[in-house]
Amino acid sequence: MLVHPQFDPVAIALGPLQVHWYGLMYVIGFLGFLIIGKMRSKEPNSVMNPDRVDDMMFWGAIGVVAGGRIGYMLFYNLKGFLSDPVSLFQIWDGGMSFHGGLLGVILAMFLLARRWKLNFFQVSDFVAPLVPIGLGVGRIGNFINGELWGRATDVPWGMVFPQVDNIVRHPSQLYQAFLEGLVLFLVLNWFRKRSPPVGAISGLFLVGYGIARVIVEFVREPDAALGYVAWGWVTQGQVLSVPMILLGVLFMWFAYKKAKA
Binding residues: 139
Q: From CA 216, how far away is CA 236, in angstroms rounded?
A: 12
Strands 2-3 and 159-160: parallel
**Residue 88's CB: how many other CB atoms inside 10 A?**
17
Work out the widest C-alpha separation in the chain, in whole angstroms.
63
Q: How far apart are CA 51 and CA 257, in angstroms?
A: 33
Which phi and psi (to 5°) does residue 24 adopt?
-65, -35
Measured CA to CA in angstroms, residue 209 lies from 11, 43, 130, 137, 138 at distances of 29, 26, 13, 15, 14
**Residue 164, C-beta contacts closer than 8 angstroms, at least 6 positions apart:** 146, 149
Would you say 168 and 159 are in contact if contact means Cβ atoms under 8 Å apart? yes
Alpha helices in the chain (DSSP H): 21-41, 50-75, 78-83, 98-116, 120-127, 131-145, 172-176, 184-192, 200-217, 236-260
Q: Distance between CA 118 and CA 128 in Å, rounded?
A: 16
How remote is the C-alpha of 144 from its chain's centroid?
17
